[in-house]
Structure 1
Amino acid sequence: MSLEVDIIKKLQGFELKVKFKADNYTLGFLGSSGSGKSMTLRCIAGIATPDTGRIVLNNRVLFDSEKKINMPIRERKVGFLFQNYALFPNMTVEENIGFGLIKRISKVDKVNKISKKIMDLQLNGMEKRYPYQLSGGQQQRVALARALVVDPEILLLDEPFSALDEHLRNNMIIRLKEDLKEFKGTSIFVTHNMEEAYQLCNNIIIIAGGKIDAVGHKDVIFNNPPTLYSAKLTGCKNISKARKIEPNIIEAVDWGCKITFNYEIEGDITYIGIRAHYLEICEEDEVINTFNCWVVFTSEALFRIKVYLKFGKPILGEKDYNIMWDISKEEWDLIKQKPLPLKIRINTDKVIKIKKSISN
């Protein structure tokens, strides 16, 4: 199973220009709202038409602007799970699931296909219910059953968890992960939520302003985001402009400190970052890359504390902080009584080195 996409489409405010390949795995499309993620799916499905380019699925040309090919939606063998599920309110569960089945199959085959998906998605007993009689999770499973019942070669999932509360979202992610293991084709999962992308996807494409900003295995993308945009999008809260001042020393301009590496740094580093949970408390002054820090203020969440720190200078106000530290409440209870300044270490193994603000 394989997908090749190379398309351009002019949109309001920017141009969508994406080129990528996907094989038999779940590919994540991660980006902010309005970046072009959903429009890419719509072009693959045939709901929208690119201005130019080519889309090929398993050696079948779905779209080719030069050859004037634009295969109808029903012939593309695409399963589409919409953001709001798009269930027909006047149809029962079984009618919604069977809606996309072609008319030329027999009534018996249609009933068998619908029954199998009802069994697979654990919708037994709900066949005659209408969408308003279903929970959000049940509606999603009906929509997924409808997408799968047509035996698609590719499954497109457009932010399927955005309408669910936190508890239900976690349960549905687990369920969908199992469902995708059973699906033998290519899947593309669109989201702006990095946790969802990491849990469900193998490879990830980050898209910004209609263009691909970064692409790679999820561990590479999250541990070493190549651009400033991808670092921010994957949740790095601590980012500073960087300036190389010695072969192995970088000045973190916005943090007001210098970080020493045990190897020579490339000269084209423009930013550095470290994720908030990677900062370390240290008891000794002599440990390399350990800095005196003052607590500016804290922000309390349900189970964790965000501690806003200032490196070695007088505090001028609540906005006068350099870096944020994310730790558990239990850890903070042990640390908050310590005399200031706290000794905070930046582990260079965890430092993100960024060369570009955004991909070309």
Structure 2
Amino acid sequence: MAFLELSNIKKSFGNVHVVHDFTMHIEKGEFVSFLGPSGCGKTTVLRMIAGFETPTAGSLSIAGKDQRPLKPNQRNIGMVFQAYALFPNMSVHDNVAFGLKVAGAPKEEIDSRVKEMLGLIKLDHLADRYPYQMSGGQQQRVALARALAVKPQVLLLDEPLSALDAKIRVSLREEIRAIQQKLGITTVFVTHDQEEALSISDRIVVMNAGRADQIGTPFEIYNTPATRFVASFVGTLNLIEAKVVDPDKNRIVIGDQGVTLKQSVTAFKAGDTVSLALRPEAGSLAEGAKGDTALTGDVTSAHFLGSVIRTRMNVGGNTISFDMFNTPGKMPPAVGERVTLRFSAEDLLVIRD
């Protein structure tokens, strides 16, 4: 049995169904991210785990104990909100100590635990400050320490970095992951930022319209997207339309150029249209580039992105992007130039709708 289990969870607000048959089993100490656009249901699932929302149907347990009859304050859960939610009239010390005081812990234990938590987030020298005297990143670290102080079974993080600037977000997400690994606490992290989810998660749940489109490791989610939505939402991806020529031999055509796929298309018949996915980093224009497949087309644009140059080409009505390393002294191909992109056939994935 998994440590945190959600089975066939549904949630409706009147006639509006926001979560459909959501099932997820999370192991003890695992870091799982719910990733998806606004309105996909990810925060609603998080709020049901916390007890702020009641499932319309389904079961929810932690360490084998049914959580549905329990109120939020009866569940051993720590939560970090997007808006920090620190008490403005309390010092950093008192904010972190709040949950322990409510639980009736003795003063010596509270002081010891607060000191430990502030040391963990490297803010022990700011124990007497108030929230308004601190930066956004510091306030979010205090909110994290407050959630961890009560030694929760599960830590819930609801887009905790979205209000911070890009540089602080990167450093703070690394801190959160390091603290989570040090404590071994089971963590659920909600975000709409794919880079965040890919960089710190053990597994990712990609949510779409109240459903889990795909659950897998960051490697699986990025390299083998299961649906068109996952393919388009996670990372930059070329979506290519092709026609099946010989399903038994996995032969397709893109425009007028034939390709043999590694992935089976025997579920289709000759003449059917299929959607294919190709990552921009998979191909190369180099003459000696490794790869058993090639597509030729005309360059339509080239955009300088610093370390790489993202170039687009037209192949049979499909716009295909590919990345080239920025090499000083070597200009990218000009618009209108005919080029050949070489890649491995296994990088060309069939995407189901």
When normalised by structure 1's length, the TM-score is: 0.86
Deviations 1:297-316 (A, max 9, x none): 2233344322121127xxxx
Q: Which runs of 5+ in 2 are unaligned?
A: none
Q: CA RMSD, aligned part only? A: 2.5
Aligned-partner SS, 2:277: strand
Aligned-partner SS, 2:67: strand
Q: Which residue of 2 aligns with 1:80?
A: 79
The one of 57, 60, 70 equivalent to 2:62 is 57
CA shift, 1:291, in A, is: 2.6
**Given the alignment of the two structures, is residue 46 of structure 1 paired with residue 51 of structure 2, yes or no?**
yes
The one of 332, 339, 342 equivalent to 2:339 is 342
Supply the distance in 2 between the matched residues of 1:80 and 1:353 (Cα, whole angstroms).
Answer: 39
When normalised by structure 2's length, the TM-score is: 0.88
Deviations 1:64-107 (A, max 9, x none): xxxxx2x0212211011112222222222112112222342112
Supply the distance in 1 between the matched residues of 2:107 and 2:306 (Cα, whole angstroms).
Answer: 53
**Given the alignment of the two structures, is residue 168 of structure 1 paired with residue 168 of structure 2, yes or no?**
yes
Supply the distance in 2 between the matched residues of 1:29 and 1:266 (Cα, whole angstroms).
Answer: 33
Distance change in 2, residues 1:310/1:112 (3 Å): same
Answer yes or no: is the 8 Å Cα contact 1:238–1:273 preserved in 2: yes
Q: Which residue of 2 aligns with 1:151?
A: 151
Supply the distance in 2 between the matched residues of 1:94 and 1:284 (Cα, whole angstroms).
Answer: 62
The one of 15, 18, 22 equivalent to 1:15 is 18
Aligned-partner SS, 2:298: strand
CA shift, 1:263, in A, is: 7.2
Q: Which residue of 2 aligns with 1:279?
A: 283
Aligned-partner SS, 1:330: coil
Q: Which runs of 5+ in 1 are unaligned?
A: 64-68, 313-319
Supply the distance in 2 between the matched residues of 1:350 and 1:322 (Cα, whole angstroms).
Answer: 17
Identity %: 30
Task: Identify which range, 144-153 or 89-98, moves more after superposition.
Answer: 89-98
Q: Which residue of 1 aligns with 2:99?
A: 100
Distance change in 2, residues 1:100/1:258 (3 Å): farther
Deviations 1:45-76 (A, max 9, x none): 1112222222100012111xxxxx2x021221
**Given the alignment of the two structures, is residue 124 of structure 1 paired with residue 124 of structure 2, yes or no?**
yes
The one of 326, 329, 332 equivalent to 2:326 is 329
Task: Identify which range, 139-148 or 298-307, moves more after superposition.
Answer: 298-307
Aligned-partner SS, 1:333: coil
Q: Which residue of 1 aligns with 2:190?
A: 190
- The alignment of Structure 1 onto Structure 2 pairs a total of residues equal to 340
Equivalent residue runs for 1:137-286 within 5 Å: 137-246=137-246, 247-252=249-254, 257-261=257-261, 265-268=265-268, 270-283=274-287
Aligned-partner SS, 1:280: coil
Task: Identify which range, 18-27 or 159-168, moves more after superposition.
Answer: 159-168
Answer yes or no: is the 8 Å Cα contact 1:290–1:346 preserved in 2: yes
Q: Which residue of 2 aligns with 1:90?
A: 89
Answer yes or no: is the 8 Å Cα contact 1:307–1:324 preserved in 2: yes
CA shift, 1:337, in A, is: 6.6
Supply the distance in 2 between the matched residues of 1:140 and 1:336 (Cα, whole angstroms).
Answer: 46
Supply the distance in 1 between the matched residues of 2:319 and 2:229 (Cα, whole angstroms).
Answer: 20
